[in-house]
Structure 1
Amino acid sequence: MKDFINALYRNHALAYKLLLFISTTLLIVYLFPKSGKFKYNFERGKPWQSENLYAPFNFAIKKTDEQVATEKQEVKDNVPLYFNINPAVQKTVTTNFKKGFKNAFSDSIPYYKRNALNQSGTKILDELYRFGVLSDDIEHSETKKVIILDGRVEKEQTQFTNLTEENEVSAIITRILEEEDLLSYKNEFTSLFFDLVEPNLEFNQEFSSRVLQEELEKVSYTRGSVERETLIISKGEVVEGLKFQILKSLESEYESQVWNKSNYNWIVFAYTLLVTLALLMLLLFIRKYRLSVFENNVKVTFIFFNVAFMVLITTLVVNYNSQYLYVVPICILPLVLKAFFDSRLGLFTHVVTVLLLGLIVPNSYEYMFLQITAGIVTILTVSELYKRANLFISVAQITLIYIVAYFAFFVIHEGSVETLKWETFGLFILCGLATLFVQPLIYAYERLFGLVSDVSLLELSDTNSKLLKELSNKAPGTFHHSLNVANLAEAAANEIGANAMLARVGALYHDIGKMKNPTYFTENQSTGINPHDELSPTESARIIINHVIDGIEIARKNNLPDRVIDFIRTHHGTSMVYYFYVKEKEMNENIDMEDFRYPGPTPFSKETAILMMCDSVEAASKSIKDPTSSKIDDFVENILNKQMNDEQFLNANITFKEIQSIKKVLKQKLTNIFHLRIEYPE
């Protein structure tokens, strides 16, 4: 047991990665739907590419959503509305009319006229209450069927247009009085009936809704069935009409049927295998091609976290409504990874993530084609993310790629643009806008995972920062040297396609350790006094070498990111303080070379290798007397060749061709610094 604990302790980093791998796999599998997936791909209007397909089991042919919606609408149109009638209301209104008529029309009116007016009023009442007066304003089709209930007994059936609404009373009075040639008494009748008329019909909402629901439940979602072993479609047959509907029904049956415990476990096991393979490919890629990332558990956690996060967001959207699938800004993933690492790792992780999502999204081939294409465009177009204009231009290009690719797929599927859903283009635009959220997301990731992006590097490159101001005050010569090295490193990085911003920032901070003993470095000796004259060569070498250790301490105290500290650690590699070594050797033959050697490590990236070259060349260039182009060329060649012979670049992923390009840049820059020009005759 003790041996196991000791082994676990020695390999704790590997154990952590294994735990991270397993937990991420289980999380993704947990998010995936636990149902079967139809193994055939087919499109409407296209030939069936697989072999003859026979029904694997009995299943019903499902109607399309449009067919079901049409049938439900027909039910809604045909199901009657139910109203409750109150018979007592009409009797009360009739009684009140007889009383009110005497008050409304004076006795001075001739008898025959009063009798005609009375008959007209009775006729108006009969017309108003022939089917009933509504109590509420209800809007329905005029031909809508209506059933009037007296208690629970059906009293009468009619159409909605025959019911009287309160705002129609005046029109009915006018029509009948015109027929009776009594229109001059309209005001009296209107005033009379305004006080008399009361609604006697009340809409029975509860009963009407219950009847409607019962009828809707009778709507069948299927139209026949297919027996087991029945030929569904033959190879080469065009998928259309009923054939297409049967295939969609079979696909739906595969994906929605209730699985027993045994099948469920097999599905989970199969998903686990696929997710494990995908994540294993990603982990092996990181281990083989990005070993520095693999050895950093925080960075590996960051990558796996982003993969799981994208799967989570996409799964939530698919479960809610797959129509909004393309709103999810998947291209944020390669953007974020490129900001913190590099394009290659960003693209590979993006492809693996899209492959995982292809297991759960509808139209998986179309989805994967669009997302992988958009990811490639993202990697190719986004450079210098800290420049806001670049991000907006890249997002516009990504959105355009989405739209063009989706349009092409739609035309291939449908054969025309008549039924093109233009609102889908709006979803792509929303996706592009959501991609702009990458900037605040990068900032949040920097604080959460302690990483550094080019945006942070831009802030660190500000020479007005507290640390660089302190360097310029305490060691002005070193500060000026750092500025020159930064310019050289940036130009060299641009020449070979390295991270120019990272190289510049690393150069600005690489010598901050000299602030502790600035006068022990020649660039800061303005008085002509050299304190090394009072020290032994061994002591002098120790002070010179210690500026690397001092620089790391100052950097950590000021919370500089590890990517910048790497430049401080490696800018001298394992080279020697050769001047003091030779001086000590003149006095003592038996010396330890390690006392005069920097602790290292040697550069392990293109950017750190560039800094070592530029630092050595810039510092030594001050010793060139009467510089000429040929002297500068030989000078640069000698310094860089010596570093190569000392195997200082052995761990850096830099090629001979790139070193030759850097030599060319350094020669050109030094020539410009020394202002070399032709000599004019006096």
Structure 2
Amino acid sequence: MKDFINLLYRNHSLGYKLLLFLSTTFLIVYLFPKSGKFKYNFERGKPWQSESLQAPFDFAIKKTDAEINSEKQAIKDNATLYFDIDDKVYERVLANYKSEFQNVFPDTLDVATSALFFAHGEQIINRLYSKGILGDDYNFSGDRNIIILNNNIIKERTQFSQLIKQNQLTNIIDNSLLDDTFKAYKTDFVSLFYDVIEPNITFNKLFTDRVIQSELDKVAYTRGSIERETLIISKGEVVEGDKFQILKSLEAEYESQVWTDSNYYWVIGAYTLLVSLALLMLLLFIKKYRPEVFENNTKVTFIFFNIFLMIFITTLVVNYNSKYVYVVPICILPLVLKAFFDARLGLFAHVITVLLLGFIVSNSYEYMFLQIIAGIVTILTVSELYKRANLFISVGQITLIYIVAYFAFFVIHEGSVDTLKWETFGLFILCGLATLFVQPLIYAYEKLFGLVSDVSLLELSDTNTKLLKELSNKAPGTFHHSLNVANLAEAAANEIGANAMLVRVGALYHDIGKMKNPTYFTENQSTGINPHDELSSRESASIIINHVINGIEIARKNNLPDRIIDFIRTHHGTSVVYYFYKKEKEINSDLDVYEFEYPGPKPFSKETAILMMCDSVEAASKSLKEPTSSKIDVFVENIINKQMNDGQFLNANITFKEIQSIKKVLKHKLANIYHLRIEYPE
């Protein structure tokens, strides 16, 4: 049992990665659709690439969305309209007419004329209410069939044009008073009618909508059926027209059929295998090509978290409305990974993520092609992310690639641009705008995961930061030395393609530990007094060596990132404080060299190796007397060759060719510093 616990403890890092791998796999599979997937890929207007296909079971042919929408619209346009009539209105109008007639017409009219006028007005009212007067001006076509209801009982069937609208009343009344007998009293008649006439017909929208919905519910979503073993399409036949719709119907039927528990678990198992294979390839890639990332559980967690986050967001959007899938800014993933790691890892993780998303989205080939091309463009165009203009330019290029690629796919599928959905281009623009969110996202990730991006490195490289200002005040010589080393290291990193910004920042902070005892280091001794003269060689060596430990403590106190602290830890590797070792050796021949060695570790990256070389060369160059080109060449060769012989670069992924390039840069830079001229032959 004890051995087992020890084994777990020794392999706890690997165990964590296994747990992370399994949990990410299960979470992704949980998001996937739990149904079968149609195994054939086909596109409208393209030849059928697979073998001749026969119907595996009976299924109905589904109508297209356009057909269904057309049928529904026809039902709405031709549906019978229902209106309510109020019979009491007619009775009330007649009663009001009788009472108001005497008030309107003068008493001077003789009885016969008065009776004639009254009867004529009554005829006009009867004519109006024989058709019905609408309360509002409804915007229906005149040929629409209507049904007039009286207490929900059908009273009359007619057309909408037969009803009288409010704006038609004046013309009808005027036309009824054209006879010379009534002309003199036309104004009185019109005034009387407008006082007493009321609308008696109202539109029953609730009942009409209910009837229309009942008709809509009867719409069939299928047209015909295909029996089992019926030939659907032959190999090489073009997929178009009814063939395309039958294949779409088969695909929908296949993916929506009810699965048994056995089928369900088989599908889940198959998804799990595919997802685990994809994530395993990513882990193996990181282990083989980015071992420093693989050893850091936080970084591996960060990568897996971002992959799951992209899949999670895309799943939410697809479940809401799949047409918005291109709004999801997938290119944030390679942007973020490139900012914290490198382009190669960013692109590999992006491709793995897009392959997994192919299980979720419709038209997966088109989607994956667009996203992989966009990811490649992201990696190729985005550089120096800390420069704001670069991000905007890159996002513009990514958006343009999306639009161009989508346009090409659409033309291939449809054969023309007549039905091009321009709003999709708007989705790509929204995706580009969402990609700009990568800047605050990077900042959040730095705080959550303790990572460092080029944006933070740029901030740390400012010599007006609190820590560097303190260094320049307490140890001005060390500060000047650090600036010189930073310039040398940056030039060397650019020469071999290393991270120049990272090595520059590391160089600026690598000697901050000297602030604790600044006068014990020669570059800060301005008075000519050397405090080491009063100390033993062991004590002096201890103070010199401890500037590394002190630097780490100061860095942690000031919350410097671990990537910068690595430069402080490794800039002397496991080298020996040779001056004091040799001095003590003269007194004690049995001296143990380990007492005068730096604690290490040795440099374990190109950047930390570059800093060790530049730091040693810059510091030692101050001892050169009457420097010449040949002296500088020999000087640089000796220092770096000694470091190589001591095995200081064995853990760094740096080649002999790159070391030779760094030597060349250092020789050239030192020659410029000392303003050497070419030595002409006499």
> Structure 2-normalised TM-score?
0.97
CA drift at 1:292: 1.5
Alignment of 1:325-340 (within 5 A): 325-340=325-340
Q: 1:32 maps to what in 2? A: 32
Determine the C-alpha separation between the residues in 2 that align with 1:180 and 1:119. 16
Distance 1:654 1:112, change over 3 A: farther
Distance 1:20 1:112, change over 3 A: same
CA drift at 1:642: 1.7
Q: 2:597 maps to what in 1? A: 597
Distance 1:62 1:574, change over 3 A: same
Q: 2:504 maps to what in 1? A: 504
Residue 38 of structure 1 contacts residue 251 of structure 1 at CA under 8 Å; is this kept in 2?
Answer: yes
Distance 1:671 1:114, change over 3 A: farther
Q: Which amino acid aligns with 1:89?
A: V
Q: Which amino acid aligns with 1:296?
A: N
Alignment of 1:467-616 (within 5 A): 467-616=467-616
Residue 354 of structure 1 contacts residue 371 of structure 1 at CA under 8 Å; is this kept in 2?
Answer: yes
Say yes or no: does 1:374 pair with 2:377: no
Residue 471 of structure 1 contacts residue 479 of structure 1 at CA under 8 Å; is this kept in 2?
Answer: yes
CA drift at 1:116: 5.4
Alignment of 1:167-246 (within 5 A): 167-178=167-178, 182=182, 185-246=185-246
Determine the C-alpha separation between the residues in 1 that align with 2:116 and 2:49. 85
Q: 1:80 maps to what in 2? A: 80
CA drift at 1:133: 2.1
Determine the C-alpha separation between the residues in 1 that align with 2:180 and 2:412. 71
Distance 1:301 1:126, change over 3 A: same
Determine the C-alpha separation between the residues in 1 that align with 2:282 and 2:181. 94
Q: Which amino acid aligns with 2:27?
A: L
* 1:232 aligned counterpart, secondary structure: strand
Q: 2:384 maps to what in 1? A: 384
Determine the C-alpha separation between the residues in 2 that align with 1:100 and 1:158. 33
Q: 2:455 maps to what in 1? A: 455
Q: 1:107 maps to what in 2? A: 107
Distance 1:648 1:112, change over 3 A: farther
Q: 1:365 maps to what in 2? A: 365
* 1:130 aligned counterpart, secondary structure: helix
Deviations 1:17-58 (A, max 9, x none): 121111111111111111111111111111111000000110
Determine the C-alpha separation between the residues in 1 that align with 2:102 and 2:417. 74
Q: 1:411 maps to what in 2? A: 411
Deviations 1:259-317 (A, max 9, x none): 22221111111111111111111111112211111111111111111011000000011
Determine the C-alpha separation between the residues in 2 that align with 1:182 and 1:442. 88
* 1:156 aligned counterpart, secondary structure: strand
Q: 1:631 maps to what in 2? A: 631
CA drift at 1:180: 7.2
Q: 1:288 maps to what in 2? A: 288
Distance 1:334 1:129, change over 3 A: same
Q: 1:320 maps to what in 2? A: 320
CA drift at 1:378: 0.6
Residue 120 of structure 1 contacts residue 177 of structure 1 at CA under 8 Å; is this kept in 2?
Answer: no
Alignment of 1:156-167 (within 5 A): 156-167=156-167
Determine the C-alpha separation between the residues in 1 that align with 2:573 and 2:223. 78
Q: 1:618 maps to what in 2? A: 618
Distance 1:129 1:590, change over 3 A: same
Deviations 1:502-553 (A, max 9, x none): 1111000000011111111100011101111112222211111111111111
Deviations 1:576-632 (A, max 9, x none): 111112222222211111111111111111111111111111111111111122222
Distance 1:343 1:95, change over 3 A: same
Q: Which amino acid aligns with 1:53?
A: L
Q: Which amino acid aligns with 1:514?
A: K
Determine the C-alpha separation between the residues in 2 that align with 1:657 and 1:114. 123
CA drift at 1:343: 0.9
CA drift at 1:115: 5.1
Distance 1:224 1:629, change over 3 A: same
Say yes or no: does 1:650 pair with 2:654: no
Q: Identity percentage over the alignment?
A: 77
Distance 1:299 1:93, change over 3 A: same
Distance 1:613 1:177, change over 3 A: farther
Alignment of 1:263-302 (within 5 A): 263-302=263-302
More off after superposition, 538-547 vs 387-396? 538-547
CA drift at 1:200: 1.7
* 1:147 aligned counterpart, secondary structure: strand
Q: Which amino acid aligns with 1:135?
A: G
More off after superposition, 635-644 vs 220-229? 635-644
* 2:130 aligned counterpart, secondary structure: coil
CA drift at 1:418: 1.7
Q: 1:258 maps to what in 2? A: 258
Q: 1:67 maps to what in 2? A: 67
CA drift at 1:212: 1.0
Distance 1:180 1:89, change over 3 A: farther
CA drift at 1:207: 2.1
* 1:60 aligned counterpart, secondary structure: strand
Determine the C-alpha separation between the residues in 2 that align with 1:182 and 1:579. 133
Alignment of 1:390-405 (within 5 A): 390-405=390-405
Residue 120 of structure 1 contacts residue 180 of structure 1 at CA under 8 Å; is this kept in 2?
Answer: no
Deviations 1:35-83 (A, max 9, x none): 1111111111111110000001100000000000001111112221112
CA drift at 1:137: 4.4
* 1:142 aligned counterpart, secondary structure: coil
CA drift at 1:111: 6.0
Equivalent residue pairs, number: 680
Deviations 1:138-165 (A, max 9, x none): 3322222110012232111112222223
Determine the C-alpha separation between the residues in 1 that align with 2:580 and 2:445. 46
Listed as ranges, the gaps of 5+ residues in structure 2 are none
Say yes or no: does 1:146 pair with 2:149: no
Determine the C-alpha separation between the residues in 2 that align with 1:628 and 1:544. 30
Distance 1:259 1:181, change over 3 A: farther
Deviations 1:319-355 (A, max 9, x none): 1111111110000001011111111111111111001
Q: Which amino acid aligns with 1:92?
A: R
More off after superposition, 439-448 vs 636-645? 636-645
Q: Which amino acid aligns with 1:235?
A: K
Determine the C-alpha separation between the residues in 2 that align with 1:324 and 1:73. 25
CA drift at 1:110: 6.0
Determine the C-alpha separation between the residues in 1 that align with 2:415 and 2:641. 64
* 1:250 aligned counterpart, secondary structure: helix
Q: 2:464 maps to what in 1? A: 464
Q: Which amino acid aligns with 2:37?
A: K
Determine the C-alpha separation between the residues in 2 that align with 1:494 and 1:81. 79
Determine the C-alpha separation between the residues in 1 that align with 2:656 and 2:343. 22
Q: 1:131 maps to what in 2? A: 131
Determine the C-alpha separation between the residues in 2 that align with 1:300 and 1:624. 47
* 1:149 aligned counterpart, secondary structure: strand
Listed as ranges, the gaps of 5+ residues in structure 1 are none
More off after superposition, 224-233 vs 446-455? 446-455
Residue 509 of structure 1 contacts residue 564 of structure 1 at CA under 8 Å; is this kept in 2?
Answer: yes
* 1:498 aligned counterpart, secondary structure: coil
Residue 636 of structure 1 contacts residue 666 of structure 1 at CA under 8 Å; is this kept in 2?
Answer: yes
Q: Which amino acid aligns with 1:149?
A: L
Determine the C-alpha separation between the residues in 2 that align with 1:258 and 1:188. 77
CA drift at 1:226: 0.3
Q: Which amino acid aligns with 1:379?
A: I
Residue 173 of structure 1 contacts residue 186 of structure 1 at CA under 8 Å; is this kept in 2?
Answer: no
> Structure 1-normalised TM-score?
0.97
* 2:154 aligned counterpart, secondary structure: strand
